[in-house]
Amino acid sequence: MADNKSLKAELRTEDFGSAGARRLLRAKRIPAVIYGKNAPVHIILDSREFTNKMRHFSETALLKISVGKKTYECLMKDYQENLMIGEIKHVDFFEVTRG
């Protein structure tokens, strides 16, 4: 069984803004951002994977997000949802640094 507190993501390097976000949402992908001590990291999550795993963790759960070869430990800070159709539109994560 896969770990419910780990997510795979892709780095989002282009197509920022609302038009790019709509294109991602139509392709069943979720735009997201990891904020923290360093510069923000813009990522793309798979909608199905995130929605399925979101049921198994609370908002205070420490998540491991793998982006390429780098892994971030994060808390889910906020998310935007279309309540009419139950679709997640955007997620903000806060990177936790140890020490």
| Separation between Cα atoms, residue 47 and residue 87, nearest integer Å | 9
Torsion from C-alpha of 90, 53, 62, 23, nearest 10 degrees? -20
Q: What is the pLDDT of residue 2?
A: 55
Domains, the chain, in order of start with CATH, read: 6-95 (2.40.240.10)
- Whose CA is closest to 87, among 34, 35, 51? 51
In angstroms, the CA 19 to CA 6 distance is 28
* pLDDT over threshold 50, residue 13: yes
Residue pLDDT, tens place only, 65-91: 999 999 999 999 999 998 998 889 999
Q: What is the pTM of this model?
A: 0.88
CB 57 within 8 A of CB 5: yes
Residue 1: pLDDT band (50, 70, 90) is very low
